[in-house]
Structure 1
Amino acid sequence: MQGNKLRLAIRATASALILGTASQASAFEVSAGDYSADIYGYARFNASYDIDEEIGISTRSGAFSAINTGAAEDNEVTGHFGADAVQTRLGVRTTTPEGVKIVVEGDFRPGQLRLRHGYGEYKGVLLGQTWSNFTSFVGNTSTLDFDSLAGLAGLQGRVGQARYTSGPFSVSVEEATDTGIVGNPNDKQGLPAFTARIQDSSGGFSYSGALLAKQTTYDTGTDDDSIFGFAAFGAAKMALGDTVTVQGTVSYTNGANGYLYRSGENFGAEDAYMDGSSLEAISGYGGSIGMGVNLGAGSSVNVGYGIATVDWDDAEDDGAAVADKSETNQNLMANYQWSPVKNVKLGVEYAYFKRENVSGDDGDASRILFAGQYNF
């Protein structure tokens, strides 16, 4: 019918996006009948120079797993340059006349198109893939490194879930993040993860806190055992006047180390170990602290420190092979960011990474990262 023909009108609007994980303002609005959709995204260039050894991965982020430790540090090849544009992002979001919100977003990490967000939401009920409910960005310091600081609050990743939100409170049932069992490959996800979170603000103070429970199970067909793991975090940010913010996070996990950000080899240590035929939980803790200073004229300086530590003592005492496991990961990042013109952000960042293993071997690496981002 003539009345059902689509009417298409595209108009450019302003975009505001800081470098990193912030959300985009819409750049294009597409109208079709009673529907409208925002198309948003950015093109992003990242380039890194590894001073001591090559630890860069896609988006030129630094990886703890690539740091040489012990004697291997004596044979390091110094000076490595790398660049890519795989952080480039594209998304579409719409709200139907009935009030249903739908978001589909992807980027190109690690080198091909991948789904970041794909969900629908109606009256507080969300179904699909988006940030874990056991995540908060409230206490995060702005960094150019896409993977950012160790010890940030929660998963810092996106999972399939069913979530309900009412005001500052939200609960979810999610795909569990399973980081495995030391000494046993027969782990499985028997149940989803269960989360609860509060996030709110008052004046210049913002805060968030969350709890999570998940099951870790092994099953060989003849032997099996399971334990429940738990995790918690708190995050806060305080504005000190108009130019300075201070922020930080604290986290604790027990049998849920996939939710201790950047622990273990890079993103999460194992949840448990085998003591004979029994599962035993592995615990960990971490945190971050940082400061941001707005210098005016579109420029800012940000400095942040993060640490994640896993308690391998019981596993080691019970004879598990954990000597080469990463016990403590820590990093420091300091950057200068500048917006020379609307919708453009440039920045340079110095980062220091250190890894310490259960055996006592350690290693460190320094690097410089440059980023340029063009938003639409």
Structure 2
Amino acid sequence: MQSNNKLRMAIRATAAVAVFGVAGQAGAVSFTAGDYEMAVYGYARFNASYDIDENVSTSTRSFDYGKINVGAAEDNEATGYFGADAVQSRIGVKATSPEGVMVNIEGDFRPGNLRLRHAYGSYNGVLAGQTWSNFTSFVGNTSTLDFDSLPGAAGYQSRTPQIRYTTGALSFSAEDPKNSIANAGAAAKNGMPALTARLEDSAGGLSYSAAVLAQQVGYDTGTADGSSFGFGTFVAAKMSLTDMITIQGALSYTDGANSYLYRSAADSAYIGTNGDVETISGYGGTIGTGINLGGGRSINVGYGMTEVDLDDAVAAGAYTDDPTQSIAALMANYKWTPVKNVMMGVEYKYATRETQSGDDGDASSVAFAAQYNF
């Protein structure tokens, strides 16, 4: 039993590095510099994709749902696209002072140049800088080779500048807001930070998280202005059914905060015919399972989706095109960890997109990845 537990923990740690970009400190190069405890970590990552029926992959060979053709365009699509890159590779450094002040700076190379991921400091529960949004949880995520993972995962699933306070299982933050008003153009503005609160904990074989977010969505043209209140919420959980099998998932709802509805690419609001800011609502979710086969091998299968209500916005003339209303994806992979700090895997991805008018389309892709951690 003890060896199975160690194996399961190793696979989960490797999966977290591959999917969410959290570089595992267990494999970091640690040393002391003066009175500071230092750690340098990262990985080299190769990603390759073969898009079977449409050219739908972007950097890191992640699935780009906006590239799925719909309607008549789907009947004239080309087939068979191959691509490969190593831009997901990253490096980071952590330093902890004798007083307990921790500083973390990390970058990767997506989409082709050095990109800042994390740059923050923390002390005594107070964090300031850029790191994962507090309106994010990974406990319900299914491990995928796709760097951006499944649509509908819990919260923002990315990093943002913020000030955060954590006490036990509770954390609160004021963050750089992520707003998008369909027909506001350059007049869109952020009048206040996004405010979040999150609870994340575990009990026995269950890990769980729940969070809420509130923000202001507004615009100001100089002669006209308006604003509205937007909010988002999610719940996420992961349950270990046995030592070898887990099930996990998440549910999200947003209204005036669709930038936090993961991978929906939907606007949060639009300006109505009377000049008022009208919010757009949406929902999403994921469900999946992870199966540890032993010997450093695992299988993961997950499904995710998002849908937004665009009928009123389209009726008000907020869009000149036919916007995406819903997306969904199924991802299934096989991963192998032949030795510590090395992961290889292959994944099949199938996705659908539907626009507000009812036109829809689908696409599929196969991906391969090899990752070497330090």
Q: TM-score, normalised by structure 2?
A: 0.94
Partner of 1:271: 268
Q: Which residue of 2 aligns with 1:195?
A: 196
- Residue identity in the other structure for 1:242: D
Q: Partners of 2:43 and 2:301 in 1: how far apart?
A: 24
SS of 1:241 mapped into structure 2: coil
Alignment of 1:135-284 (within 5 A): 135-182=136-183, 184-263=185-264, 268-276=265-273, 277-284=275-282
The amino acid across from 1:87 in the alignment is Q
Residue 322 (structure 1) shift: 6.3
Q: How does 1:8-23 map to 2 (within 5 A)?
A: 17-18=14-15, 19-21=18-20, 22-23=22-23
- Structure 2 unaligned residues grouped into runs of 5+: 1-9
Q: Deviations over 1:268-311 (max 9, x none)?
A: 31111121211100000000000000000000000000000001
Aligned counterpart, 2:117? 116
| Amino acid paired to 1:316 | V
Report which stretch shifted further, 192-201 or 322-331.
Answer: 322-331
- Normalized against structure 1, the TM-score is what? 0.93
Residues 182, 270 of structure 1: 8 Å contact kept: no
SS of residue paired to 2:313 = helix
Alignment match, 2:105: 104
Task: Work out the CA distance in 2 between the residues paired with 1:361 and 1:145.
Answer: 26
What do the CA deviations read for 1:340-370 (whole angstroms, capped 9, x no partner)?
Answer: 1111100000000100000111111000000
Structure 1 CA distance, aligned partners of 2:334 and 2:109? 25
Q: Is the 8 A contact 1:323 1:357 kept in 2?
A: no
Q: Is it true that 1:365 corresponds to 2:366 in the alignment?
A: no
Shift of 1:190: 1.1
Name 2:69's counterpart in structure 1: 68
Deviations 1:79-119 (A, max 9, x none): 00000000001000121000001100000001000110000
Q: Counterpart in 2 of 1:299? A: 297
Segment of structure 1 superposing worse, 328-337 or 184-193: 184-193
The one of 320, 335, 345 aligned to 2:318:
320
State the distance in 2 between where 1:238 and 1:311 align.
Answer: 32
Provide the secondary structure at the position in 1 that maps to 2:14: coil
Residue 181 of structure 1 and its aligned partner are, at CA, apart by 2.7
In structure 2, the residue matched to 1:332 is: 330
How many residues of Structure 1 are paired with residues of Structure 2 in the alignment? 359
Structure 1 CA distance, aligned partners of 2:138 and 2:341? Answer: 22
Distance 2:237 2:348 in 1: 24
Q: Which residue of 1 aligns with 2:286?
A: 288
**Cα RMSD (Å) of the superposition?**
1.4
Q: 1:18-44 CA distances to partner (integer Å, 9 max, x unpaired)? A: 322243124312322211210000000
Counterpart position of 2:24: 24
Where in structure 1 are there 5+ consecutive unaligned residues?
1-13
The DSSP-based 3-state class of the residue aligned with 1:17 is: helix
Give the structure 2 partner of residue 342 of structure 1.
340
**Mapped partners of 1:368, 1:82: distance in 2:** 11
Q: Secondary structure at the match of 1:20?
A: helix
**Residue 186 of structure 1: CA displacement?**
1.3
- Partner residue of 2:50? 49
Percentage of pairs with the same residue? 60
Aligned to 1:72, what secondary structure does the other structure show?
helix
Query: As a proportion of its length, which structure holds more helix?
Result: 2
Cα distance in 2, alignment partners of residues 347 and 182 from structure 1: 42
Residues 32-43 of structure 1 aligned to structure 2 (within 5 Å): 32-43=33-44
Alpha-carbon distance in 2 for matches of 1:50, 1:203: 41
8 Å contact kept, 1:183–1:321: no
2:354 pairs, out of 353, 356, 370, with 356
> For the structure 1 residues 37 and 204, does the alpha-carbon distance in structure 2 shift closer, same or farther, using more than 3 Å as the test?
same
